[in-house]
Structure 1
């Protein structure tokens, strides 16, 4: 049961219309036996849920009554329904009003907007992607639409913004209109703990949310929610958001249906092979359903692409649709792909999603049975958020955290080398709870005990708690699968995947040349992709990502044969169909730059010979010697024509959708 401290009264009204609405609500509520029953029946009817949880009803009713609430409860327990409650109640009572709901990412603004729409609440997600999409579709400007609905005062509207968008000049301009400000009845903040996250991109914009209190009427109802705030952090978070006088409610943050598995990496993850992750693809895979629906979290986009390429190579070639079983999701992808990514995982068509923190906060993909955190150790709240992407439907799930070997604690007597001392110094810079999480077994604890101790909660052992108390079946099964893959892949990788040295056909390219290579390959990529992709396909980034293109540009001078080109490029799902065409592009690029280098050498040699002849010959003063020599500028241009892909002999322009997006970006 929650421990709820009441430290405030309901907000004062600013205007007679608010008083009228409040009286009208009281009159309608009084016709029911109790307010609790009225709201419970309303939520059951509108959400089609068989029952409403006690905390949802309790705090939803507090918001309906006009109280500010600060709520902490484990991810996936149903916080969204608390924020829906006052809007559904207002709609049921025939009232109007606007709710601004702050979400940390564009992905989450779009996801939550769709959730509210399914509940019958008109919603807008306003971010850079949706603004561009609305413009490209010829739709009304989203801010103008927001303003028109608010001023009309005829319906309930939920508007989802990131904290950066909340601080935009467009919002501040709207708040300068008293009528608009009067229509703004609710301001909700999701993932409130981010205001307290050290060295994160969210801390400053979340901290600025507090400034909104002085700009809004005091009748505006405020809600802050989080699933990963510790009791010791609650006071600072609520103060930094302006919730010091709100009603505080804290529930358990434990997720007993998720089994925590902690491991230290046994193999390098700096190259193109990730043997510690190979168990994710069963060695005896027969169909796509053999892969558990999985999310892999990587700190950098580039690392995620390398992981995806490696796992792609493990999927047997006879599996249908094998090149689309693993998809990326990061900040480089637009809203259309993010929705396709989510639906693909939920339908089972996509089996593994490789993500950055784009999918960390609040993203609700219901059927994820396994998450893997690769090299994540800087923030414990981020670790918890990512772990809790598993089992959102309440069914049993697995959560792996894989850390580099230097995070493993050693006894002081075992720290004998300089490397041991350096690793101890690195660990000392991390939050102690993170170090304890990965070393829980050595502390005679388990990951769950570390988590619950951090949140001042008691521990009770339950079945499949963690890998410390219940190491099987995962330990044996995973390590066995890894060993089989290593046996299959090690001979091949040791002989063929090492990037060869230059054969000196062409010198390494200079920086402007490398930039030109990326531009040329990007143009080839776009033309080739849209020559065979359908109008609803993923962006060209899916065909050949930026990391692969940068690698080709960096090692272009090595690609003097097709075999060398394949090694430099690394695993590529379209190599069989389009590898030869891309190699021809690289050959033409390399030939052109070699000509530039050769011409430069000839000019340098000629200049040296002329200088030598001048030093050997007597100098005769002539009038012309006092005049500066003319400087000639030589412009070398790359050929405009590039080899076409084997995918089609005719040049195919991208669909209208692609052209429109490009124009919008321009």
Structure 2
């Protein structure tokens, strides 16, 4: 099957895909179309989603078959965004949430297998008998599912032990869909982590397509000194906001707790004063600084995401926790700033990957506050130790060697 040719002649224009397929995307799609379990470990911003988005379309174009891809995703916001995007392209898609939040017409459409892409969380399928009977036990789905996709699959390992334990039960689907290929996608996954994930999913000998996770357009800076103060260290960026206002480059400032988000927001707005508002007009909708964390209501998170996504958004600096991350695709973020050590190198690299998704030069600043290193994982302790004792001369090389 010549996937590239079919994509160019029958899919790209019809479904409004603005880009050509990359080599690894093509290989992954071909692997799954042949019925092989597949793993894609590709850098942030590479375009992992298209690897599953076009699978049902290919079946229809090549074989004249109506097929469905089940897509498991860790975050509702990520599912909503992907579902909205594919729907706007003309790909029939649905995001399954609580039954009570869906119309009878929509549920009937799901039962009949009318949607090519079905986005859902593990909890929806494995905890609710209603959905299990429709999506697993019905003849429609037994016959029409062409792939079971687990997006951000590294979370099966990092979340599955203590948080979102249902992730580790996704292997149960192997007994229900014995001939259906699994597609596992992530940007960050070590060899040992991948082997553990494969064991939990009962998958043997998948075809693995991977690329070095390095993002050469992102320049990395590291600093860890006693007595660092955030308003002093990021003065360079606050000065840019004061000078340029809404013309300042976008930045994300990651901190380690919800409390720290509130504290830094208050201190930064206090420092900026009138300069913290678009046109120096003090209205909440004109703030150049925003907050994002897991304690916000869903509608507030969506509102902030939608605003920050727009190039003309007044928000230039978003102060956030790890809750702002997975699946976020905002091309024009120029700076990612970490105040305090990340829990792990994989988390750090995921968050760094929010910068420069348009390929333009960007910078990631890592302020490893000494007190924040106490409770981090061993790989982060090792990296910061190597930097401190001089055994790692290059921060980027140190990150990639320790993590990958």
**TM-score bin, normalised by smaller chain:** 0.7 to 0.9
Contact 2:38 2:206 in 1 (8 A): yes
C-alpha displacement at 1:339, in angstroms?
3.3
Match of 1:196 among 157, 171, 182: 157
Cα 1:76/1:389, change in 2 over 3 Å: same
Match of 1:69 among 28, 35, 38: 38
Q: What is the aligned partner in structure 2 of residue 123 from structure 1?
A: 93
Q: What is the aligned partner in structure 1 of residue 65 from structure 2?
A: 95
Counterpart-to-counterpart distance in 1, 2:58 and 2:241:
54
1:399 aligns with 2:364: yes
Q: What is the aligned partner in structure 2 of residue 630 from structure 1?
A: none
Give the structure with higher Rg (CA): 1
Counterpart-to-counterpart distance in 1, 2:43 and 2:209:
12
1:39 aligns with 2:7: yes
C-alpha displacement at 1:293, in angstroms?
0.4
Cα 1:187/1:171, change in 2 over 3 Å: same
Contact 1:235 1:244 in 2 (8 A): no
Q: What is the aligned partner in structure 2 of residue 543 from structure 1?
A: none
Counterpart-to-counterpart distance in 2, 1:407 and 1:298:
10
C-alpha displacement at 1:190, in angstroms?
0.9
Match of 1:57 among 18, 26, 31: 26
Counterpart-to-counterpart distance in 2, 1:292 and 1:224:
34
Instruction: Say which SS state the counterpart of residue 210 (structure 1) adopts.
Output: helix
Contact 1:39 1:61 in 2 (8 A): no
Q: What is the aligned partner in structure 1 of residue 271 from structure 2?
A: 314
Q: State how 1:225-240 maps to structure 2 within 5 Å.
A: 225-240=185-200
Counterpart-to-counterpart distance in 1, 2:71 and 2:12:
23
Q: What is the aligned partner in structure 2 of residue 82 from structure 1?
A: 51
Q: What is the aligned partner in structure 2 of residue 246 from structure 1?
A: 206
C-alpha displacement at 1:157, in angstroms?
2.5
Instruction: Say which SS state the counterpart of residue 259 (structure 1) adopts.
Output: strand
CA-to-aligned-CA distance 1:619-651 (integer Å, 9 cap, x gap): xxxxxxxxxxxxxxxxxxxxxxxxxxxxxxxxx
Cα 1:47/1:54, change in 2 over 3 Å: farther
Q: What is the aligned partner in structure 1 of residue 290 from structure 2?
A: 327
Instruction: Say which SS state the counterpart of residue 167 (structure 1) adopts.
Output: helix
Contact 1:440 1:447 in 2 (8 A): yes
Gaps in structure 1 of 5+ consecutive residues: 1-28, 409-425, 457-666
Q: State how 1:146-295 maps to structure 2 within 5 Å.
A: 146=107, 148-153=108-113, 155-169=114-128, 170-174=130-134, 175-197=136-158, 202=163, 204-214=165-175, 216-264=176-224, 266-267=226-227, 274-282=231-239, 285-295=242-252
Counterpart-to-counterpart distance in 1, 2:17 and 2:117:
20
CA-to-aligned-CA distance 1:192-243 (integer Å, 9 cap, x gap): 11222278755622211111212x2223231001111123332222222333
Contact 1:108 1:362 in 2 (8 A): yes
- TM-score, normalised via structure 1 length: 0.54
Contact 2:38 2:184 in 1 (8 A): yes
Contact 1:195 1:241 in 2 (8 A): no
1:385 aligns with 2:350: yes
Contact 2:174 2:201 in 1 (8 A): no
C-alpha displacement at 1:302, in angstroms?
1.9
Cα 1:95/1:310, change in 2 over 3 Å: farther
- TM-score, normalised via structure 2 length: 0.86
CA-to-aligned-CA distance 1:409-436 (integer Å, 9 cap, x gap): xxxxxxxxxxxxxxxxx48x73135431
Instruction: Say which SS state the counterpart of residue 235 (structure 1) adopts.
Output: helix
C-alpha displacement at 1:379, in angstroms?
1.7
Greater relative contact order (Cα < 8 A, sep 6+): 2
Counterpart-to-counterpart distance in 2, 1:106 and 1:296:
22
C-alpha displacement at 1:254, in angstroms?
0.9
C-alpha displacement at 1:50, in angstroms?
4.5
CA-to-aligned-CA distance 1:306-354 (integer Å, 9 cap, x gap): 1112211222416425542222222233444333322322323211122
C-alpha displacement at 1:440, in angstroms?
2.6
Match of 1:430 among 377, 385, 390: 377
Cα 1:361/1:337, change in 2 over 3 Å: same
1:106 aligns with 2:66: no
Counterpart-to-counterpart distance in 1, 2:402 and 2:131:
38
Counterpart-to-counterpart distance in 2, 1:53 and 1:437:
35
Contact 1:43 1:52 in 2 (8 A): no
1:447 aligns with 2:389: no
Contact 1:181 1:217 in 2 (8 A): yes
Cα 1:167/1:375, change in 2 over 3 Å: farther
Instruction: Say which SS state the counterpart of residue 296 (structure 2) adopts.
Output: coil
Q: What is the aligned partner in structure 2 of residue 345 from structure 1?
A: 308
Cα 1:100/1:118, change in 2 over 3 Å: same
Measured on the aligned residues, the alpha-carbon RMSD in Å equals 2.9
C-alpha displacement at 1:386, in angstroms?
0.8
- Compare 216-225 and 340-349 and name the one that shifted more: 340-349
Q: Which structure shows the higher strand fraction?
A: 2
Counterpart-to-counterpart distance in 2, 1:330 and 1:73:
26
Counterpart-to-counterpart distance in 2, 1:430 and 1:455:
11
Cα 1:257/1:71, change in 2 over 3 Å: same
Cα 1:69/1:193, change in 2 over 3 Å: same
Cα 1:278/1:191, change in 2 over 3 Å: same
Instruction: Say which SS state the counterpart of residue 101 (structure 1) adopts.
Output: strand
Cα 1:183/1:263, change in 2 over 3 Å: same
